[in-house]
Amino acid sequence: MVLTLELPPGAALSENELAASLGVSRTPVRESLIMLAQEGLVQVFPKIGSFVARVDATQVADAQFLREAVELASLEDLPEALDEDLVAELRGNLERQRRPGLGLEEFFELDEAFHQGLLRLSGHGAAWTTVAAAKGHLDRARRLGLYENATSAGFAAQHGEILDAVTGGDAALARTAMRTHLRAVFHDIERIRAHSPELFASDSAAVPVRRSVVVWE
């Protein structure tokens, strides 16, 4: 719910309400909030409450740095003879990305599978686990970018350019296209921050203040 923005950045969290909506007791909810706090996705303020952490641009940049390093390196490590079954799988994924009326969350899942598939093509599919574990803030920024653009067509087109370069044996072009594609999130962040600054962390020491309602100072 945090990663998909169903619980948006800055939202106040109630253990009772979450437990009721999920049909569980408060104990697993409390334990989950502790784990999310350890991942930097939830902030807990004693005597004030728990809140969904606002998107931290620094953590986005760190995760992006890791992801870019891994994915660009994998493009340099592609075998001369590509696995035809994996290539067919990637092409099928790309076709599904281009379906009219595709939901943004459906596209996000296909996007994840596409990038993981490229790592598998280079023989480094297991590296995806490390990348995925580090990109909570990045994934929220990516989803904000998808909703900001209101269409996934541009991202699907970039995936097509990357795959064409890979299957055409042009690793340099594939790396350039991949770098441009992955860094698009930074442009999205700046556009979104311009009209919705409350979604982003501006001061790591900021604490919400409880008056008649909870507000962020």
Average pLDDT, the chain: 92
pLDDT digits (tens, 9 = 90+) for 128-137: 999 998 899 9
Q: Which domains does the chain have, with CATH numbers?
A: 12-54+201-216 (1.10.10.10), 57-195 (1.20.120.530)
Beta bridge partners of 12: 51
Q: How confident is the model at residue 209 (pLDDT cuts 50, 70, 90)?
A: low
Q: How confident is the model at residue 171 (pLDDT cuts 50, 70, 90)?
A: very high
CA distance 214 to 133: 31
Tally DSSP H helices, then E strands, for the chain.
Answer: 9, 5
- Global pTM reads 0.87
Three-state secondary structure call for residue 37: helix
